[in-house]
Structure 1
């Protein structure tokens, strides 16, 4: 333990850095021994749950950073990367996880995954649970966790936010606003005026940015936004399909639909097929399995999980090598894959109707 305290003391003297809390400070705050704090910080067994929670709370409050040099002297180093995502059933995140796992294993490192289920409490619990492991870094798609909360973990190990950004945290994202604006402009160029947006109920920055891009394109074209054509529903597939069906079966149904996520896209296609809906232009934000074998094939904005996962992993390795590096906001390009559904023009009768011409 002397090596750990000596290394912490040396680290606290670095120019421009705030002095770190010591392991003795955590022990005093939690009312436990230094040995117990060490066990909790190293993710070792043999600590009662209530004691572990008290120590973790003290670690978070004080911003204690277990010294990696001292720990490696004892354990031989640690090479575990934590990954926190929404749900493994989501096509985008399933692919992202696969990419990170391949990259991690290729470097003879280990990876631990956890899902949030779109729940804020579960997200915080999962982050705290993973922090009990000997992580060398964390990649997280934040749901409700704040930048301030992530900063606490960032003081303990490198953190990279994927898909959704947080101020002051390294992040890898796509231009959600620009891509949604571009595909909405494509609909408008084809002659569509009644264009729907189908997204998710949660106020994710990705969803709100895509909706903002959608609204911007309509406004630039002088098209009034019909809020009844903006549908944001719950995450489960049945609820999504029901909400989409209600929209598509209207007498004044939209002629084109922008779906904000691959989950919403799959549910909307379910609704189209169940209701026999045809001839509606459709673009999915996010690719998914079977999108290219449907008839017509589904046009999509491809936010390539391979590019995002690779960029997030590489940035994490850079932070492991240089923890003092300034946070970076990395924007990965998207690609519009045209397969047929997004290129459908509105019927002539619909065009005449919106131009005030009797059909």
Structure 2
């Protein structure tokens, strides 16, 4: 198991390596033109070639030999199969991978499973029917055996969920949830709710296990009536009922950003008092509510970068042993997760956008 380490400050102190997109912007040409110059291909006007060469020299650009090896062959396309582009996490993840791919002269083709195993296989067949140079997949029902067969044709990396014998990029769902629930307990909360999603994924199960473990370690009995399995349709009636109970939880842990969004909607539509709230997963506008939404940040850009770099590494060494890379998370404290257990500390529903 490989763990990524380092802080934002440490990353900021390292000069960013010039990318192909930087060269293209400085020279005033497309990334494809830069790629042609770098690879000494025909079809570039002399003046244009001179501008690109000058930009390369000025920026100190060094082509990524591993990325170039990934492109060798009949195509320069990476396939990505995710749950849904509407999911805030995967939308940001795809954007990060696409940016890195374009910067190296590669293109991206993505499809979604809609959380459905049958559709997953149909989409996978469409993606892999093309001659891909690599595949990134967030598996729903597809097993290790099927992915290992694909791995014989091109590099394959799983994201968010692991499969035996396949490279995977994940976060510590269990440990991050324990940290979040412990933050509630430190602020005096004893009645803590869990709002998850009805999915077959081990990620949500691991988060629920972390929730139960943190309560057990603090000697807090598990109350199953405080657990809500929230559907992907964002129907919040069960959440509304939970928060409107006379013995409602004073703190709520939402196991995903869609579950958090449904919970916020329920709070804003009803009259239930605002509980302390932590979301597993950040999302757009989370910081502009009153209070801001505290979240476990599974940074999609870090995960996207780790996934892309591993895919490139596999192109150099396709027979290398699979790696299970755990990307670190952090708890972003914005106010909602820091509300105290006393009733007077949480008198009203979540406020309007700032």
**Structure 1 length normalisation: TM-score?**
0.75
Distance in 1, matches of 2:246 and 2:231, equals: 24
Distance in 2, matches of 1:88 and 1:243, equals: 26
- Residues 286 and 301 of structure 1 are in contact (CA less than 8 Å); yes or no, is this contact kept in structure 2? yes
TM-fit CA distance, 1:138: 0.4
- Residues 295 and 332 of structure 2 are in contact (CA less than 8 Å); yes or no, is this contact kept in structure 1? yes
Give 1:329's aligned residue. 324
TM-fit CA distance, 1:349: 8.3
1:253 aligned onto 2:234: no
Give 1:170's aligned residue. 167
- Structure 1 residues 235-258: Cα deviation after superposition (integer angstroms, max 9, x where no partner): 112x2x222112111221111000
Distance in 2, matches of 1:272 and 1:261, equals: 17
Task: Report the structure number with the largest CA radius of gyration.
Answer: 1
- Residues 279 and 344 of structure 1 are in contact (CA less than 8 Å); yes or no, is this contact kept in structure 2? no
1:108 aligned onto 2:108: no
Give 2:308's aligned residue. 313
Secondary structure of the equivalent of 2:133? strand
- Structure 1 residues 253-289: Cα deviation after superposition (integer angstroms, max 9, x where no partner): 1110000101111111000110133331000000000
Give 2:216's aligned residue. 219
- Structure 1 residues 44-100: Cα deviation after superposition (integer angstroms, max 9, x where no partner): xxxxxxxxxxxxxxxxxxxxxxxxx9xx7xxx5321100011010111100001001
- Residues 257 and 282 of structure 2 are in contact (CA less than 8 Å); yes or no, is this contact kept in structure 1? yes
- Residues 77 and 109 of structure 2 are in contact (CA less than 8 Å); yes or no, is this contact kept in structure 1? yes
For 1:119, which of 116, 119, 123 is the aligned residue? 116
For the aligned residue pairs, the C-alpha RMSD in angstroms reads: 1.7
Distance in 1, matches of 2:306 and 2:107, equals: 18
Give 2:148's aligned residue. 151
Distance in 2, matches of 1:160 and 1:209, equals: 21
User: Cα 1:348–1:112, aligned 2, differ >3 Å: closer, same or farther?
Assistant: closer
Of 133-142 and 145-154, the range deviating more from structure 2: 145-154
- Residues 138 and 161 of structure 2 are in contact (CA less than 8 Å); yes or no, is this contact kept in structure 1? yes
Distance in 1, matches of 2:328 and 2:278, equals: 17
- Residues 267 and 274 of structure 2 are in contact (CA less than 8 Å); yes or no, is this contact kept in structure 1? no
Distance in 1, matches of 2:294 and 2:344, equals: 24
1:299 aligned onto 2:294: yes
Which 5+ residue runs of structure 2 have no aligned equivalent? 1-68, 346-354
Q: Which runs of 4+ in 1 moved over 3 A?
A: none
Give 1:194's aligned residue. 191
Distance in 2, matches of 1:201 and 1:243, equals: 13
- Structure 1 residues 141-174: Cα deviation after superposition (integer angstroms, max 9, x where no partner): 1111111221121121111011111111100001
Distance in 2, matches of 1:242 and 1:155, equals: 47
Which 5+ residue runs of structure 1 have no aligned equivalent? 1-68, 351-359
Distance in 2, matches of 1:346 and 1:115, equals: 41
Distance in 2, matches of 1:184 and 1:251, equals: 22
**Structure 2 length normalisation: TM-score?**
0.76
Give 1:95's aligned residue. 92
Give 1:271's aligned residue. 266
For 2:181, which of 180, 184, 188 is the aligned residue? 184
Distance in 2, matches of 1:210 and 1:290, equals: 23
Distance in 2, matches of 1:299 and 1:184, equals: 12
- Residues 138 and 159 of structure 1 are in contact (CA less than 8 Å); yes or no, is this contact kept in structure 2? yes
TM-fit CA distance, 1:212: 0.4
Give 1:41's aligned residue. none
Matched pairs, number: 276
